[in-house]
Amino acid sequence: METILINLSNGQKREFVKGIKLKEVIETLKTKYPHGVICGKFNNQIVNYEDTLIKNGNLTLYDINTKQGNKIYEKGLIYLFEISAMEVLGKDTKITVKHSIDKGIFCRINKEIDSEITNKIKKIMRDKVNKGLPFTKIETSRVEAIEYFKSIKREDKVRTLFYNTDKFITLYKLDGVYNYIIGDLPYDTSILKYFDLSYIKDRGIVVRFPSIYDDGKIVKYTHHTNYFNSLEEYSNWGNGLNINNLGELNDFIINHNAGDIIQLSEIMQDYKLLNIAEQIVLNKDDYKIVLVSGPSSSGKTTTAMKLSLYLRSLGLNPTHLSIDDYFHERDETPLGADGKPDFESLTAVDIKLFDNQISKLLKGNKVTVPTFNFVEGKKEFKRSVELKENDILIIEGLHALNENLLVNIPKKKKFGIYISPLTYLNIDDDNRISMTDIRLLRRIIRDSRTRGYSPSKTLNSWDNVREGEEKYVFPYQDNADAIFNSSLAYELGVLKTFAEPLLFTVREDDPEYLTAVRLIELLHYVLPIPSETVPQISILREFIGGSYFE
């Protein structure tokens, strides 16, 4: 009997019969995966339960605690939610998968719902999980798929597929309902046992499930009102322009001057930033410090600079400080669990020095503040700062909203701004665009341009960045007095022209290959937009280059 040798991700080597199915391999290893296995990666290709292994290779199994497995879990769970909701509310129900919010995905429903209906949907979902219904793949031509979606009046799908140039595409079927879902799905519904639904009055339902940091546990839902309202505001703005998804954005690019959507997006964003500046100026006798925080690649630097211009035009004199300049000396940096320097942690910052200097500045003292030399790994004291009448401090950094900073300064003197690209656009009603992916694309472009990093290097470090955000940024977003949405409706079209060539350099044997392929697939659905008409003061310039503030 012919056998194959498989290298497992834990370092073990196992011998199996040639032609063995993945589900049979999983059966021999299931005790190591208490949450169940969603799929596998064999020689850097995703494989599902029924796929056969016919040659030697490397096998990694993914559960809900892995980024690959978690994304597939999300797609399967949302599909399950949609067909269960239509079973309760009727087949004419329109469900739009909108955006992530507090360990879940917000879905808007065009019918009246309440807690009772939400519980009915949840019960049907549980029943379908217990039945282990298969997600069936169906290969069909793009033309036939378009005709099908026309027949059921799904114009969002028609637009998506119109701009997809592939001759053949894959549809999925679950419990008799067909859909076009981008990416892989689980083998069947039995794996989708961890979920809950949270009803948001007059809005919709949040489909909740564990993140990769929760070890299969459903975390209690917290509704972040300002965050949610900012997304809804931008969604309403997009709806007014009839740009709710990438298909409609592509239509706009074709039927209008692409520069129009650039200018419309920039005007909307500048208007929101001006509102924040006016709010600060109206309370200038109280506010002495503006704290600017947000996750990586949100555009914090450009936003702080633009805000300074607005404040200057309204009579204030902003002075900038960066928390990054208060890092401990390199040899004093605390180590993480992996034994490497943990630059994401608040303990990497010299809090005592930072708090002391800010307190002195507010008392009218002149202070010599540090500039961190990242090459030498040490602080250099060359810049003197003093606050005079009408001066205001703008402090920018990952930890700016952390309540463990500036504990001796009254809250009424501090104005907090949380910045993040809260994209409201979808690919279509069922396929959302991850806000994290927008930030990742921005970072890949900026790292390549300013640091000479390969896309593979940026992708490889992204998990550590995300883990730091989960610990040190997201928990403090509700400390903000204002939410600033740094996303731009047009940006994916511009990012495509910069990111696509970089992503294609990630080779098939690279550990980050699957992530690169997923990002390339996302960019596949948007038409390119030339960057020439992107304003020099745009947040996007922080990443693609040519910024007025550089």
Q: Quick one: tokens of 398?
A: 């990952």
Q: pLDDT > 90: what percent of the chain?
A: 79
pLDDT over 90 at 339, yes or no: no
- Binned at pLDDT 50, 70 and 90, residue 223 comes out as confident
Question: So what's the pLDDT on residue 248?
Answer: 95
Neighbouring C-alpha atoms within 13 Å toward the C-beta of 458: 27
Q: Quick one: tokens of 424?
A: 């409201």
Cα–chain center distance at 431: 14
Question: So what's the pLDDT on residue 343?
Answer: 77
The model's pTM is: 0.93
Q: Domains in the chain and their CATH numbers?
A: 3-63 (3.10.20.30), 68-223 (3.30.980.10), 227-544 (3.40.50.300)
Mean pLDDT along residues 332-346: 78
What's the CA gap between 295 and 419, in Å, rounded? 8
Using CA atoms, how far residue 360 sits from 351, 388, 444, in Å, is 14, 13, 39
- Binned at pLDDT 50, 70 and 90, residue 221 comes out as confident
Mean pLDDT along residues 533-539: 96
* Pairing between β-strand 196-200 and β-strand 317-322 as defined by DSSP bridges: unpaired
Q: Count Cβ atoms below 10 Å from residue 334 Cβ, excluding itself.
A: 12
Say if residues 198 and 192 touch (Cβ distance below 8 Å): no
Question: So what's the pLDDT on residue 219?
Answer: 86
* Pairing between β-strand 204-208 and β-strand 136-141 as defined by DSSP bridges: unpaired
Question: So what's the pLDDT on residue 124?
Answer: 98
Say if residues 267 and 279 touch (Cβ distance below 8 Å): no
Question: So what's the pLDDT on residue 433?
Answer: 95
- Binned at pLDDT 50, 70 and 90, residue 482 comes out as very high
- Binned at pLDDT 50, 70 and 90, residue 215 comes out as confident
Q: Quick one: tokens of 282?
A: 């109206």
Residue with tokens 């701004």: 417
Paired residues of 208 in beta bridges: 104, 196
Nearest-10 Cα torsion for 513, 514, 519, 520: 70
- At 26-80, the pLDDT tens digits run 998 888 899 999 999 999 899 999 999 999 999 999 999 999 999 999 999 999 9
Question: So what's the pLDDT on residue 224?
Answer: 87
Q: Quick one: tokens of 296?
A: 């990586």
What's the CA gap between 128 and 145, in Å, rounded? 26
- Binned at pLDDT 50, 70 and 90, residue 9 comes out as confident
Largest CA distance in the chain: 86
Question: So what's the pLDDT on residue 344?
Answer: 80
Question: So what's the pLDDT on residue 488?
Answer: 97
What's the CA gap between 464 and 296, in Å, rounded? 11
pLDDT over 80 at 1, yes or no: no
Using CA atoms, how far residue 162 sits from 154, 248, 262, 424, in Å, is 12, 11, 23, 21
Paired residues of 169 in beta bridges: 140
- Binned at pLDDT 50, 70 and 90, residue 374 comes out as confident
Paired residues of 204 in beta bridges: 108, 200
Q: Which residue has the higher pLDDT, 277 or 224?
A: 277
Say if residues 325 and 368 touch (Cβ distance below 8 Å): no
